[in-house]
Amino acid sequence: MTEQTLHEQLKKLYAMDAGKVESVLGDYRVDVVKGDLLIEIQTRSFSSIRKKLRRLVKDHRVRLVHPVPYMKWIVRLDRDENQVSRRKSPKKGRVEEVFRELVYMPDLLSDPNFELEVALVNIDEFLIDDGKGSWRRRRWSIHDRRMLSLHEQHLYQTPGDFLKLLPASLPEEFTTRVLAKESKLRINLAQKMVYCLRNMGVLVQTGKKGRAKIYTVR
């Protein structure tokens, strides 16, 4: 799978106004350097970049930018990369989807040199009929992703900044299932969100109701 086009588009976007693209810093190549701020674009799993980030934040301000598709069009290509169809996905992306990746390093948000930006983007996602993809996609592979437009940007500089993602209707004490219901999230994503917020020190467990753990904002 490649997301080279989306990655390159975001690098150019974040390098605007005097940013330097692809700068070498010690043992690492940094996507964008803007003054004293290092910007890394990560379109894939955070597991592959966490070691690099932990090293860079020791001596530098670092912002990790992660794109989440807000609106997506599925473009299907045949084996020769000719377009055979294009349709709009009925699903819209949400900022909370970043917790699927943030589970790999939630503690990093407690470092004053680190910040996270979620970029909601409208994209074309290209699937190619090569027989090598996931069974969920009927063996079609993700060939590339291309940004059509930037919808919104959400910057989180401290663990407390994530409190804005908790719905106003959430009771003072709640379970993961209650959070999922009030936020209209799938239960597995709500679980990842709670895991991250606990590790950031934003949420604490106050008790249990049966087998369900009860949480509150610290």
Dump pLDDT digits (tens) for 42-68. 999 999 999 999 999 999 999 999 999
Q: Give yes or no for residue 113 having a pLDDT over 60.
A: yes
Shared domain for 123 and 169, answered yes or no, is no
Average pLDDT over residues 190-197: 98
Residue 165 CA to residue 163 CA, distance in Å, equals: 5
Q: pLDDT digit string (tens) for 165-187?
A: 999 999 999 999 999 999 999 99
Burial label for 52, CB within 10 Å (0-12, 13-18, 19+), is middle
Residue 109, pLDDT score: 94
**Based on the domain organization, do 112 and 208 belong to the same domain?**
no
143 and 78 fall within a common domain: yes
Final residue in a domain of this structure, among 128, 157, 186: 157
Indicate if the pLDDT at residue 135 is higher than 90.
no
Q: What is the pLDDT of residue 1?
A: 42
Instruction: Look at the chain and report how many structural domains it folds into.
Output: 2
